[in-house]
Amino acid sequence: MKFFTLLIAAFFAVQLNAQDVKGYYITVSGNKTEGFFKYGDFYDAESLKFKQSRNDDYKGFSNDVVEYGMYDDNLKFEKHVVQVDVSGNDSFEKNPELQTRTVFLNVLIEGNATLYSYTKDYKTIFFFNTKAKPQEVTHLIYKKYKISDSETKENTGFRQQLYNAVRCDGQYVSDFKDIMYDKKQLMDVFKNYNSCKGYKSVIYGPKKKSGFNYSVFAGVNNLNVGISYAFPAVDNQSKINYNFGSEVTYVFHSERPALFFRVEYELLTSDVVDSYDQGYNVLESTYKIKGSALNFIFGPRYNFLLSEKSSILADAGFCFSQPFGDIKKTTIIYPVNNGEPYSGDHNEYNLTTGFGINLGVGYTFDKKYGIVFRYLTNRNYLEGQHSSFKTKINRVGIEFKYTFY
């Protein structure tokens, strides 16, 4: 338990350290500085804190910063002077009330035409520019306005703006009349426009999300079974056993740290046989274990990302093992004077709950298929029994896993 407690503590220490988000900023003179952002609202430039190395203190941005970004989240923000609608939700005016503001815009898609977003007070508005007029970053107009205390209408001027600025040959007004003021739909318009103009679109925004993954697995193992403090003493015995089950994993935002919980069914049937020469008798003892176990395993995992679809994983979990079955001990006594062998003591013990640590190292490819080498430490299934001996049951093996996406 001490080992597992230390392991959990180390995991959360890594998580706290992972709150540093690797990124950069660029000043008006073109100098680029790389370092770490303090985890927070990356869309609010005024609240951001940055440091060049992990041992430095966080500091805010200076006024000469014109661009910043986060590598893992694939975010990019540019400073622009724009006209922003500040009329609010209670306006009776159809046209927006525009004010000049200097703000950092979130770059969504970049190409011959570039789409930006700006979020303030839980409201998101969109801007765009084109390579023909790169300095003209234009507000895409969408506004709800009141015509009475109980009725509203919409100013959907952004559709006409899109038709005028980013239509491809063969597109008509009707192609834009149903477009919503929505990030995905607007990005599709700009991707289509860049493509038809012969430009590749560069897409920004987080590609990774925190959330749950679900897997099934099956394994084959070398099961090592021993009996401590047995009399007569017995040597450990090994045999092949199998396990299978399912797993749910909560993967954190960066897709590196994770927490997992797995339930597996394991076969435990094995015989441990050995003999002991007393000088006048030879005692042959057999411990016949017949049963299975339902294992509940939970703990931290870390994924070392090799590419977009492949990674190496390392994890360690605490195992609560509920066995089903028993151990039957039989002893046969062989007299050294060649007398007839006869039975010694016969005992039966019900298996009780055992605990262990499950360690794993593996490789995942195509985000779905995994192969994991696992070691499950010794479990004593006779805790609390009226016996002087304990079971030492551990295993090492290989598992094959499939993850559903």
pTM, entire model: 0.56
Q: Is the pLDDT of residue 15 over 60?
A: no
What is the average pLDDT score of the chain? 87
Q: Is the pLDDT of residue 314 over 80?
A: yes
The residue ranking higher by pLDDT, 100 or 210, is 100
Q: What is the 3-state secondary structure (H, E, C) of the chain?
A: CHHHHHHHHHHHHHHHHCCEEEEEEEECCCCEEEEEEECCCCCCHHHCCEECCCCCCCECCCCCEEEEEECCCCEEEEEEEEEEECCCCCCCCCCCCEEEEEEEEEEEEECCEEEEEEEECCEEEEEEEECCEEEEEEECCCEEEECCCCCEEEECHHHHHHHHHCCCCCCCHHHCCCCCCCHHHHHHHHHHHHHHCCCCCEECCCCCCCEEEEEEEEEEEEEEEEEECCCCCCCCEEEEEEEEEEEEEEECCCCCEEEEEEEEEEECCEEEEEEEECCCEEEEEEEEEEEEEEEEEEEEEEEEECCCCCEEEEEEEEEEEEEEEEEEEEEEEEECCCCCCEEEEEEEEECCCEEEEEEEEEEEECCCEEEEEEEEEEECCCCCCCCCCEEEEEEEEEEEEEEEC
pLDDT on residue 287: 82
Predicted confidence (pLDDT) per residue in 84-99, tens digit: 988 877 888 999 999 9
pLDDT on residue 182: 93
Predicted confidence (pLDDT) per residue in 174-213, tens digit: 999 999 999 999 999 999 999 999 999 999 987 666 789 9
pLDDT on residue 316: 94
The HSE-up count of residue 271 (CA atoms within 13 Å, CB side) is 6
Confidence at 312, pLDDT banded by 50, 70, 90: very high
Q: Is the pLDDT of residue 81 over 90?
A: yes
